[in-house]
Amino acid sequence: MHDRAPESVQSLVDDVWSSYVGAPLVPRPVVAGDDLVGRSIAISGDWCGTVQVQASRALAVTVASAMFSTGAAEITDTDVSGALGEITNIVGGNVKSLLGGECRLALPSSVGHGPDTAGHEVPRLELDAAGEPLVVVVWREGRS
């Protein structure tokens, strides 16, 4: 990724977030006890890495509710997974567009509490969305 990667990723996350949720994003450090759910998507080709999107369960329900135009009480775990997967896919596709060269996206998959790839963080964004944590991390494989 180029020298302005963190700013570029922040800008595209802001754009995606405002399109689907509408809540402004502001910097917010993740604290111990933040219970996050998330999805990741691998990018392969001339640049290899992973994009992760993690959010609190409450924020994930808000995203799913907005995406599927339904009340929060009706949102299921499958809805949460699908909505975060879609946000991750969109963010991953936008990150891919910043890379240049030949790159492909995999399908989104579940994320645990830590990185699911060896490498280093290109940017890590720790954000607040309507009082809830949102973390977006881009990992580049095999580089330190």
| Rg over CA atoms, the chain | 14
The answer as to whether 76 is a domain residue is yes
The answer as to whether 136 is a domain residue is no
| Full domain range(s) for residue 72 | 5-112
Which pLDDT does position 3 carry in this prediction?
44
Give the CATH number, domain containing residue 87. 3.40.1550.10
- For the segment 102-139, what is each residue's pLDDT rounded down to a tens digit? 999 998 888 754 444 456 777 889 999 989 999 999 98
CB atoms within 10 A of CB 1: 17
The answer as to whether 50 is a domain residue is yes
The answer as to whether 14 is a domain residue is yes
Angstrom distances, CA of residue 117 to CA of 28, 54, 85, 134: 24, 15, 18, 19
**CB of 93 closer than 8 Å to CB of 105:** yes
User: pTM of the entire structure?
Assistant: 0.87
The answer as to whether 107 is a domain residue is yes
Question: Could you give the number of structural domains in the chain?
Answer: 1
How far is residue 21's CA from residue 55's CA, in Å, rounded to a whole number? 13
